[in-house]
């Protein structure tokens, strides 16, 4: 989200980037930052358990329903 907003508001100068990035980061909701961090830690945990890219992706995938078990399990 931050990268997309930075691209939209970019004037393609380093000075402009220095001014815009703190403002853009402050505008992102804390709940969204926490969700991203939580998902990132799931990847870190999967890779620390010696999983390759495809297995890590499968382990990190969050199922949309709590009423059924995932297909791979």
The answer as to whether 73 is a domain residue is: no
Q: Which domain holds residue 24?
A: 2-60
Q: What is the pLDDT of residues 40-53, one digit of tens each?
A: 888 898 889 888 88
Q: What is the pLDDT of residues 3-28, one digit of tens each?
A: 899 999 889 899 999 999 999 999 99
What is the pLDDT at residue 52?
87
Name the residue among 2, 69, 68, 5 with its Cα closest to residue 30. 2
1: part of which helix (H) or strand (E)? Answer: none
User: Do 3 and 28 contact (CB within 8 A), yes or no?
Assistant: no
What is the pLDDT at residue 66?
61
The answer as to whether 65 is a domain residue is: no
Helices (H) and strands (E) in the chain, counts: 4, 0
How many independent structural domains does the chain possess?
1
User: Do 33 and 48 contact (CB within 8 A), yes or no?
Assistant: no
Q: What is the separation, in whole angstroms, between the first and last Cα of the chain? A: 32
């Amino acid at each position: 989200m931050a990268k997309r907003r930075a691209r939209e508001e970019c004037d393609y100068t380093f000075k402009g980037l220095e001014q815009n990035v703190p403002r853009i980061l402050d505008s992102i909701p804390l709940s969204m930052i926490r969700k991203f961090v939580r998902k990132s830690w799931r990847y870190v945990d999967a890779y620390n358990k010696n999983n390759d890219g495809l297995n890590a992706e499968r382990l990190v995938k969050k199922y949309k329903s709590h009423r059924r078990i995932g297909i791979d399990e």
